[in-house]
Structure 1
Amino acid sequence: MNCSSTVQTIQSKINAFYHLTMTDDDSKIKNAIHEVLNLWPEILTAANEATDDELFTLNVNRAVLTQVFTIVLSKEFFNKDHLLVREIFFGCFNLLVDHLYIFKNTDLTPITIFIDSNVRLIMKMITSITSLVNFTNEDFSKIKDYQLLIAMREHIDQDNEQDNLTDGIISFIWNLSDRTILIPLLINTGYPESVVQWIKIRERKFRNDKLDAPIHILHNLSRHDDGIKALNSHGALGVIEEMKIEPKIYDDPDDITIHIAMIRVLLTDIYQIRFDSIKYSNKIINMIIKLSIDSVKNDRSRYNGSHVSEPLTVIVKLFHNDEILHSTFTNNETKTTIESLIELLPSYLIKFYPRIDIDDDILENYTCAVILNLLWLVSNHKKYRQIVGNNQALMDIIKQAASDELNFVDKFMPRTMKSIKQSANEILKNINS
């Protein structure tokens, strides 16, 4: 079959999707996205032999495929169909693997421009659904998966033009790094060292709307103990310490300053934090607490991209310093916000703890653990125990956690934290003493 007839065949297949709408039956829409994923490799292969006019036709028809993806994302069933989400993500990711060369290519021809634009579109698609994928330890285990991630990193390393691929890659890696289970993958493909370097030259390396992306990626890497070790081996803490950024508004949880402050805490050894209070002002701590409050109030437990577990993890680490803990509960600036936060936390535990062994959601389970660690540190101090002990709903959950046979320990939980069962028992011991 010559190229012209191949393009015509593809055209006829694409025509079947022209009239797909959001009102169509769910099964029809699911079938359409599967057909699209099977068709896209044909389009990219056909481009290799296509004339300029045929490339134009393929490019125009690609919009129909994008429309199918958009319709699927808009449907209520999508967020609940974990298998479909994985199929779409890895179907697209494998397309990127098959066209890895585009991340190393410097020749601009009609074909490479076409492939490049498709690769960027595919990256944009999977970036938008990364947060919904139930990843496992077996994912990205092929050598070519590693090679793709390395090629993406090296493309940014070598790019000094802020090109479109760099813009797409940094967004994808940002979302990928938000999944803690994937941090070892990013470590093994060299991202800690590169991210530290990107931050040093971010004004030259990235477009204005992505200037903060490497900071957020570094933050995500630092949420994993192995990430902390890798980052510190490349001087990440020193780079963060040198960033003299002052918040525009101290009560604005959106400000990048809060992320820099949280990174500093995460990268600092807990024993150093215990003896170093001066670096952590009440204003900064108040911002972190407010971010926790805004996150826990949200239906998805997120605010401005941050999951409630992120600022809570930082607060827990800071509260290993008794001086910081006491100051937070007594300072006029922070007293009200920390008490408001603790009042909100039981609602999270009541919602998610009873389902901890049903949903098996790593993030929800970890959040329950970090909340109980926070309450344990508070209950260590007699003058604050009533804040925990006087909340009957909270105490019921704590008693249940202490007596449950289930002893969940998140493999990604910082080594300095106690398990759910351990922290619950410690809280009860403190309350009853």
Structure 2
Amino acid sequence: MTAYGLIDELKSLSSSQSESAYCYSIEHLTTQLEHMISANVLEGDQLAWILIDHLHQLIPLFEMKLFNDISVQQTNFFLKKLNQFFQQRQFLCGAVRSMKDHSQQQKVFYNYFSLLKISYFESTGKYDNIITCIIPIISVASIFVRMVETDIPSNFLPSLLDFIESYWQNPDRELVMRYTIGLIKVFSKSPSLVLMIIQHKWPNACLRYLSNINEINTSKSTYHVHYILLVTLQKLARHTIGVQILNELNCHKILYDNQTKMQNIYNEHEYFQLQLISYMIDALLMSSDEIKQQTISNNELMSQILDQLVRMIIEGSHSIGFLYDCFHISEPLIVLSKLFVNDDILTICLAQNDRLFQCFTQLFSHFSAQIKTQQPLDAERDSETILAVSNILWSISFQERYHEYFKMNTMLMNTLSNLAQSSSTYDILQSKLIPYDLYSVKKSVQGILWNLKTLSIHSRSSGNVSSTEQRPPLIMISYSHSDASFCRELVECLSVHVPIWVDYKQADNTVNHSDDLWEEIAYAMEMATVIIVIVSKEYYESKSCRQELCYASDTLKKRIIPVYVPNQQYRANGWLGIRIAGQRYIHFGRKLFVVATEELISMIIDYQKSTQTSVIISQPLVTNETIPKPINDTKSDVLSLKDWTSKEVRQWFEENHIHPDLISLFIDQFHTGTALLIYAQHLKYFYRHEYVRILTKYHQVLDGKRLDTLDFVTFVDAFFRLREKYNPNNSKDDLERSSEIQLPWTDVQDRITWL
């Protein structure tokens, strides 16, 4: 029998047949289907489509036979063989994808979903073979359908959960249970259904089932259940509300506790696959700060997982539908876009696969061109991809060693320029689906161009110059919008005394960092005498804030005043800690707001006098007594420093909370106070050189131990305060000019990469 002959005979089945005729036909169909599966005859997409299109009409017939206990054995044999055929996912995907009309794909989904009755699950297994034929078709068809809550009956999800609760680890219905969880996994892909799934406690159930997987009674099916549970959680973790709920349910701890269990139960390949999904979940749940603290040195498993994520992206980029092992390419891309805030992870991934950067650029160019011409569902999925890739490229653009790779790619640069000037964006699902800490396509693109120094930030027409631009601002404030309330309060107090530039005053009183404000922000930094940085954990985690401070500090070499917001314990670290190390700062959490503001105004006045700015400052609210007075006679202080012995030097180190490891490195090098003062002067001039030198020595002397950024910041801060106290009249202009001979940041990064 040919494949078409099998379909013709399948169409001949009807309720009007005698029992003997039905039995003969169904047995013959079972035999022929088994033969065709083994011979791989049924492989045409068109034949597959005809089979799927007709089968839904026969489900009521099969239900009737099973309900009336007529030809039960023959019907179940045929359905089992059909299920075996449907397990070849490429058969179903090819069939549904071959439907050129999107309405046909929707028709398949709704035809089969309407057949999936709750009563099938509530029976004692009588209809299980119908369930296992219907769900695979629904799962594949759902890829091409935008589901909404009204598509799902209100009692459907809770009824399925009741079924799972009743038959968890029951071997008689394990296959149906696995397919049921797989259906929830499919629903978890849809932004419109996530809230519904969460409300019916499916995340709670998935985590509970993971905790209850038995280490003794295991089988291949147990692995499949475990895998589907993790993938379901991974789909949920792609949504902002999913991240919130899973963190509340302590998902990370449950996954961590499962590691030993998985290693004891499964073989090496299975264990790695489960660890890969677990790591994807963890990455989606972690904050940027947590990801930045990750280290992959001497972590072989993490290195293998990163390799696999890269492989998923590269091989998925060449596959039909951009799929790799049932994952759309957007899924590993979103994970990497989060992980790439960690410079070590970014560097290792790019260094170990020279095709990866090219793959990113090709994906970016492809999806930016395709997205406007596709169906809404395709456009939504593709918008996730281009959003992830644009964030990845933005992270890479912070590394100067890759700038030439960008600039040599003419197509990429043209695409970036066009998107930067476009009034539209591709962020169709950002608020519903994409993790909250990813940035819009337009903001990412402009950030890339800014880092590449190809975005014009100096040109401006005279007609667009505002009144605040005509008078150079004394202060520009750089902040994270998580600290907007504190920023507004600070601006209200300071603006009485000094001219201030802050973004929300430049854009019709809006509060957002508009993409169109980037030129204005850059120009304000160029014109400012002082830049106040409102330091917080959120500032450190923001790419936009990093870009602003890098431009102000590294490119413009502006004076920076760090201001710590109240009510948090954050201490500057990483890229932020290095750039504000040694700067005089104000901590609003350690003193009254009024007192802190007075000190800040005094500091601004000091800076204004040192640069002889032409901007006139009105009379500050502070009295002369509250402004630190210059120390006119430093001779006695210097003399007292000369009297310091090793004992006083050690006491100074300890009183300034220098880390014991750093004390051990330096204590034998300083025997007098004046030696400390001379080194403080040297450190002010060459702190970047010293960072590399100390980092290297720390690593060598302490057997590979890594210097914590916070410990280095504390070290530098102590010496800078010592210098200000005992040698305040040193020329600040000379010190500013000396920063030009600092080791470039690219060289610093190159020299410490091996660590």
TM-score normalised by the chain length of structure 2:
0.47
SS in structure 2 opposite 1:241? helix
The one-letter amino acid of 1:388's match is F
Equivalence map 1:28-427=2 (5 Å): 33-45=52-64, 47-48=66-67, 50=68, 52-56=69-73, 59=76, 75=95, 78-96=98-116, 99-106=117-124, 113=126, 115-127=127-139, 129-130=140-141, 132-137=143-148, 140-143=151-154, 147-158=155-166, 159-162=168-171, 163=173, 164-179=175-190, 182-203=193-214, 207-244=222-259, 255-274=273-292, 276-278=293-295, 281=299, 283=303, 284-320=305-341, 324-326=342-344, 328-329=346-347, 331=348, 334-337=349-352, 339-359=354-374, 360=376, 361=378, 362-409=380-427, 410=429, 411-427=432-448
Structure 1 residue 260: Cα displacement: 1.6
Contact 1:183 1:221 (8 Å CA) reproduced: yes
Q: Which has the larger radius of gyration?
A: 2
Instruction: Work out the CA distance in 2 between the residues paired with 1:210 and 1:357.
Output: 38
Query: 1:24/1:269 Cα in 2 relative to 1: closer, same or farther (>3 Å)?
Result: closer
Aligned residues: 406
Output one character per residue of 1:65-118: Cα deviation in whole Å (capped at 9) or x when no partner.
Answer: 88999998765873433222222222211111xx31332334xxxxx52x2321
Instruction: Work out the CA distance in 2 between the residues paired with 1:254 and 1:194.
Output: 24
SS in structure 2 opposite 1:160? coil
Which range moved further: 347-356 or 379-388?
379-388
The one-letter amino acid of 2:169's match is N
Contact 2:49 2:96 (8 Å CA) reproduced: no
SS in structure 2 opposite 1:349? helix
Instruction: Work out the CA distance in 1 between the residues paired with 2:92 and 2:291.
Output: 47
Equivalence map 1:8-23=2 (5 Å): 8=17
Query: 1:15/1:406 Cα in 2 relative to 1: closer, same or farther (>3 Å)?
Result: farther
Instruction: Work out the CA distance in 2 between the residues paired with 1:132 and 1:230.
Output: 25
Output one character per residue of 1:185-240: Cα deviation in whole Å (capped at 9) or x when no partner.
Answer: 42233211111111112346853443322112111211111111121221211112
SS in structure 2 opposite 1:8? coil
Which range moved further: 389-398 or 191-200?
389-398
Structure 1 residue 122: Cα displacement: 1.5
Contact 1:389 1:395 (8 Å CA) reproduced: yes
Query: 1:403/1:95 Cα in 2 relative to 1: closer, same or farther (>3 Å)?
Result: same
Query: 1:392/1:254 Cα in 2 relative to 1: closer, same or farther (>3 Å)?
Result: farther
The one-letter amino acid of 1:119's match is I
Instruction: Work out the CA distance in 2 between the residues paired with 1:236 and 1:161.
Output: 25
Query: 1:57/1:310 Cα in 2 relative to 1: closer, same or farther (>3 Å)?
Result: closer
Instruction: Work out the CA distance in 2 between the residues paired with 1:93 and 1:416.
Output: 35
Structure 1 residue 168: Cα displacement: 2.2
Instruction: Work out the CA distance in 2 between the residues paired with 1:354 and 1:242.
Output: 44
Contact 1:253 1:287 (8 Å CA) reproduced: no
SS in structure 2 opposite 1:243? helix
Percent of residue pairs identical: 20
The one-letter amino acid of 1:156's match is I
Instruction: Work out the CA distance in 1 between the residues paired with 2:107 and 2:354.
Output: 44
Query: 1:77/1:268 Cα in 2 relative to 1: closer, same or farther (>3 Å)?
Result: closer
Query: 1:166/1:336 Cα in 2 relative to 1: closer, same or farther (>3 Å)?
Result: same
Contact 1:290 1:337 (8 Å CA) reproduced: no
Aligned counterpart in structure 2 of residue 431 of structure 1, from 435, 452, 458? 452
Query: 1:139/1:81 Cα in 2 relative to 1: closer, same or farther (>3 Å)?
Result: farther
Instruction: Work out the CA distance in 1 between the residues paired with 2:95 and 2:134.
Output: 20
Instruction: Work out the CA distance in 2 between the residues paired with 1:337 and 1:180.
Output: 35
Contact 1:174 1:213 (8 Å CA) reproduced: yes
TM-score normalised by the chain length of structure 1:
0.78
Contact 2:247 2:285 (8 Å CA) reproduced: yes
Query: 1:139/1:353 Cα in 2 relative to 1: closer, same or farther (>3 Å)?
Result: farther
Which range moved further: 192-201 or 130-139?
130-139
Instruction: Work out the CA distance in 1 between the residues paired with 2:207 and 2:286.
Output: 16
Contact 2:350 2:357 (8 Å CA) reproduced: no
Instruction: Work out the CA distance in 2 between the residues paired with 1:291 and 1:249.
Output: 21
Contact 2:210 2:229 (8 Å CA) reproduced: yes
Query: 5+ residue gaps in structure 1?
Result: 107-111
SS in structure 2 opposite 1:416? coil
Instruction: Work out the CA distance in 1 between the residues paired with 2:165 and 2:452.
Output: 53
Contact 1:237 1:268 (8 Å CA) reproduced: no
Match of residue 109 from structure 1: none
SS in structure 2 opposite 1:242? helix
Which range moved further: 61-70 or 232-241?
61-70
Runs of 4+ in structure 1 over 4 Å off: 9-12, 14-26, 28-35, 56-77, 178-181, 245-254, 279-282
Q: Which has the higher contact order (CA 8 A, sep 6+)?
A: 1
Hey, which of these two has a bigger chunk of helix by percent? 1
The one-letter amino acid of 2:135's match is M
Structure 1 residue 363: Cα displacement: 1.6
Contact 2:82 2:133 (8 Å CA) reproduced: no
Contact 1:295 1:303 (8 Å CA) reproduced: yes
Contact 1:372 1:420 (8 Å CA) reproduced: yes
Query: 1:150/1:422 Cα in 2 relative to 1: closer, same or farther (>3 Å)?
Result: same
Match of residue 526 from structure 2: none
SS in structure 1 opposite 2:114? helix
Output one character per residue of 1:24-55: Cα deviation in whole Å (capped at 9) or x when no partner.
Answer: 996x986775554234224424643x2x4444
Query: 1:74/1:192 Cα in 2 relative to 1: closer, same or farther (>3 Å)?
Result: closer
| RMSD after superposition | 4.0
Structure 1 residue 372: Cα displacement: 0.6
Query: 5+ residue gaps in structure 2?
Result: 1-13, 34-40, 455-755
The one-letter amino acid of 1:227's match is G
Structure 1 residue 177: Cα displacement: 3.1
Match of residue 628 from structure 2: none
The one-letter amino acid of 2:275's match is T
Instruction: Work out the CA distance in 1 between the residues paired with 2:229 and 2:44.
Output: 41
Contact 1:376 1:424 (8 Å CA) reproduced: yes
Instruction: Work out the CA distance in 2 between the residues paired with 1:385 and 1:25.
Output: 46
